[in-house]
Amino acid sequence: MGSSSEITIETNGYRVKLDSERASAKFDMIGILSQTQVTSRELCSAIRPVRIIVELFLFTGGRLPYALVGGLFTPGEGENLDIRVHLSADVVCDLENPIKRAGLAREFAEPLMVGLLEELPVDDLPAGELVVDRGVYDELESSAMSFRMAGRLLRSTTAALLHNRDIESAVRYAIAR
Protein backbone atom coordinates (compact mmCIF):
# COMPACT_ATOMS: atom_id res chain seq x y z
CA MET A 1 0.00 0.00 0.00
CA GLY A 2 1.60 3.26 -1.13
CA SER A 3 1.93 6.42 0.91
CA SER A 4 -1.13 8.05 -0.62
CA SER A 5 -3.21 5.07 -1.68
CA GLU A 6 -6.66 4.49 -0.25
CA ILE A 7 -8.87 1.48 -0.90
CA THR A 8 -12.62 1.43 -0.23
CA ILE A 9 -14.48 -1.89 -0.07
CA GLU A 10 -18.23 -2.27 0.42
CA THR A 11 -19.67 -5.64 1.43
CA ASN A 12 -22.58 -6.96 3.53
CA GLY A 13 -23.62 -3.49 4.72
CA TYR A 14 -20.06 -2.52 5.69
CA ARG A 15 -17.87 0.13 4.12
CA VAL A 16 -14.20 -0.37 4.91
CA LYS A 17 -11.56 2.20 3.96
CA LEU A 18 -7.91 1.18 4.09
CA ASP A 19 -5.02 3.63 3.99
CA SER A 20 -1.38 3.70 5.03
CA GLU A 21 -1.60 6.78 7.26
CA ARG A 22 -4.06 9.24 8.74
CA ALA A 23 -2.34 12.08 10.62
CA SER A 24 -5.64 13.19 12.16
CA ALA A 25 -5.91 9.83 13.95
CA LYS A 26 -2.84 10.42 16.15
CA PHE A 27 -3.51 10.97 19.84
CA ASP A 28 -1.74 11.44 23.16
CA MET A 29 -1.17 8.08 24.86
CA ILE A 30 -1.95 7.71 28.57
CA GLY A 31 -1.57 3.93 28.85
CA ILE A 32 -1.15 0.63 26.99
CA LEU A 33 -3.13 -2.61 26.75
CA SER A 34 -0.77 -5.47 25.94
CA GLN A 35 -1.18 -9.16 25.02
CA THR A 36 1.27 -11.75 23.73
CA GLN A 37 0.36 -14.71 21.54
CA VAL A 38 2.60 -17.63 20.65
CA THR A 39 2.58 -17.95 16.88
CA SER A 40 3.58 -20.92 14.79
CA ARG A 41 4.05 -18.70 11.74
CA GLU A 42 7.64 -18.65 10.56
CA LEU A 43 9.24 -15.32 9.87
CA CYS A 44 9.98 -14.81 6.20
CA SER A 45 13.00 -12.62 5.45
CA ALA A 46 10.95 -10.77 2.82
CA ILE A 47 8.49 -9.49 5.45
CA ARG A 48 8.88 -5.80 6.11
CA PRO A 49 7.20 -3.39 8.53
CA VAL A 50 3.64 -2.48 7.49
CA ARG A 51 1.47 0.45 8.61
CA ILE A 52 -2.24 0.33 7.86
CA ILE A 53 -5.32 2.32 8.85
CA VAL A 54 -8.79 0.68 8.88
CA GLU A 55 -11.90 2.87 8.89
CA LEU A 56 -15.18 1.01 9.34
CA PHE A 57 -18.78 2.07 8.75
CA LEU A 58 -21.73 -0.31 9.15
CA PHE A 59 -24.96 0.77 7.51
CA THR A 60 -27.79 -0.27 9.86
CA GLY A 61 -30.65 2.07 9.10
CA GLY A 62 -30.39 5.39 10.92
CA ARG A 63 -27.13 4.66 12.76
CA LEU A 64 -23.70 4.27 11.26
CA PRO A 65 -21.54 2.36 13.77
CA TYR A 66 -18.05 3.74 13.27
CA ALA A 67 -14.45 2.91 14.16
CA LEU A 68 -11.04 3.96 12.87
CA VAL A 69 -7.87 2.22 14.03
CA GLY A 70 -4.36 1.99 12.70
CA GLY A 71 -1.12 0.41 13.60
CA LEU A 72 2.37 -0.64 12.66
CA PHE A 73 3.44 -4.27 12.39
CA THR A 74 7.17 -4.88 12.77
CA PRO A 75 8.49 -8.41 12.20
CA GLY A 76 10.56 -9.97 14.95
CA GLU A 77 12.51 -13.05 15.94
CA GLY A 78 11.22 -15.92 18.04
CA GLU A 79 7.68 -17.19 18.33
CA ASN A 80 5.82 -14.34 20.03
CA LEU A 81 3.41 -11.86 18.51
CA ASP A 82 3.18 -8.89 20.88
CA ILE A 83 0.08 -6.73 20.45
CA ARG A 84 0.02 -3.30 22.09
CA VAL A 85 -2.92 -0.91 21.98
CA HIS A 86 -2.25 2.67 23.03
CA LEU A 87 -4.95 4.20 25.24
CA SER A 88 -6.22 7.77 25.30
CA ALA A 89 -8.40 9.54 27.82
CA ASP A 90 -11.95 8.25 28.32
CA VAL A 91 -14.73 9.04 25.88
CA VAL A 92 -16.17 12.50 26.39
CA CYS A 93 -19.61 13.03 24.91
CA ASP A 94 -21.29 16.33 24.21
CA LEU A 95 -24.84 15.39 23.17
CA GLU A 96 -25.47 18.91 21.89
CA ASN A 97 -22.58 18.76 19.44
CA PRO A 98 -21.34 15.17 18.93
CA ILE A 99 -18.12 14.84 16.98
CA LYS A 100 -15.45 12.38 15.99
CA ARG A 101 -12.43 12.48 18.29
CA ALA A 102 -8.93 11.07 17.93
CA GLY A 103 -8.20 8.49 20.60
CA LEU A 104 -8.83 4.98 21.90
CA ALA A 105 -10.61 5.04 25.24
CA ARG A 106 -10.51 1.81 27.27
CA GLU A 107 -14.18 1.11 26.44
CA PHE A 108 -13.17 0.80 22.76
CA ALA A 109 -9.59 -0.47 23.22
CA GLU A 110 -10.68 -3.62 25.09
CA PRO A 111 -13.05 -4.90 22.35
CA LEU A 112 -10.45 -3.81 19.77
CA MET A 113 -7.94 -6.11 21.52
CA VAL A 114 -10.47 -8.98 21.39
CA GLY A 115 -10.72 -8.54 17.61
CA LEU A 116 -6.93 -8.31 17.26
CA LEU A 117 -6.49 -11.60 19.16
CA GLU A 118 -8.73 -13.56 16.76
CA GLU A 119 -6.20 -15.70 14.89
CA LEU A 120 -6.50 -16.44 11.18
CA PRO A 121 -6.44 -20.08 10.01
CA VAL A 122 -3.87 -19.41 7.24
CA ASP A 123 -1.34 -16.69 6.44
CA ASP A 124 -1.67 -15.07 9.86
CA LEU A 125 0.72 -12.58 11.42
CA PRO A 126 4.19 -13.98 12.14
CA ALA A 127 6.32 -13.25 15.19
CA GLY A 128 6.81 -9.56 15.81
CA GLU A 129 5.00 -6.59 17.27
CA LEU A 130 1.73 -4.93 16.26
CA VAL A 131 1.36 -1.49 17.85
CA VAL A 132 -2.03 0.20 17.46
CA ASP A 133 -1.31 3.90 17.83
CA ARG A 134 -4.02 5.50 15.70
CA GLY A 135 -7.71 5.72 16.54
CA VAL A 136 -10.84 7.79 16.06
CA TYR A 137 -14.24 7.29 17.65
CA ASP A 138 -17.57 9.00 17.14
CA GLU A 139 -19.19 10.16 20.38
CA LEU A 140 -22.59 8.75 19.39
CA GLU A 141 -21.99 6.21 16.61
CA SER A 142 -19.04 4.18 17.90
CA SER A 143 -19.56 0.92 19.78
CA ALA A 144 -17.66 -2.00 21.24
CA MET A 145 -18.89 -4.14 18.32
CA SER A 146 -17.51 -1.75 15.70
CA PHE A 147 -14.10 -1.65 17.40
CA ARG A 148 -13.97 -5.45 17.75
CA MET A 149 -14.68 -5.75 14.01
CA ALA A 150 -12.06 -3.07 13.28
CA GLY A 151 -9.51 -5.14 15.24
CA ARG A 152 -10.37 -8.24 13.25
CA LEU A 153 -10.06 -6.23 10.00
CA LEU A 154 -6.74 -4.69 11.05
CA ARG A 155 -5.21 -8.12 11.74
CA SER A 156 -6.63 -9.66 8.55
CA THR A 157 -5.57 -6.83 6.23
CA THR A 158 -2.10 -6.52 7.80
CA ALA A 159 -1.57 -10.26 7.29
CA ALA A 160 -2.83 -9.98 3.69
CA LEU A 161 -0.32 -7.21 2.95
CA LEU A 162 2.52 -9.20 4.54
CA HIS A 163 1.70 -12.33 2.53
CA ASN A 164 0.84 -10.51 -0.74
CA ARG A 165 -2.77 -11.72 -0.63
CA ASP A 166 -5.80 -9.95 -2.07
CA ILE A 167 -6.91 -7.19 0.35
CA GLU A 168 -10.57 -7.31 -0.69
CA SER A 169 -10.71 -11.06 0.02
CA ALA A 170 -9.15 -10.45 3.45
CA VAL A 171 -11.81 -7.83 4.24
CA ARG A 172 -14.65 -10.08 3.10
CA TYR A 173 -13.26 -12.99 5.14
CA ALA A 174 -12.92 -10.90 8.32
CA ILE A 175 -16.48 -9.60 8.01
CA ALA A 176 -17.95 -13.05 7.29
CA ARG A 177 -16.32 -14.69 10.36
Quote the distance between the C-alpha of residue 35 and its chain's center. 15
Whole-angstrom distance, CA of residue 25 vs CA of residue 135: 5
Question: How do the domains of the chain map onto residue ranges?
Answer: 6-176
Top-tier CATH class for 6-176: alpha beta
- Residue ranges of the chain with pLDDT lower than 70? 1-4, 40-46, 61-63, 91-98
Report the pLDDT value the prediction gives residue 3, as an integer from 0 to 100. 47
Q: Mind listing the pLDDT tens digit for each residue in 140-169?
A: 889 999 999 999 999 999 999 998 899 999
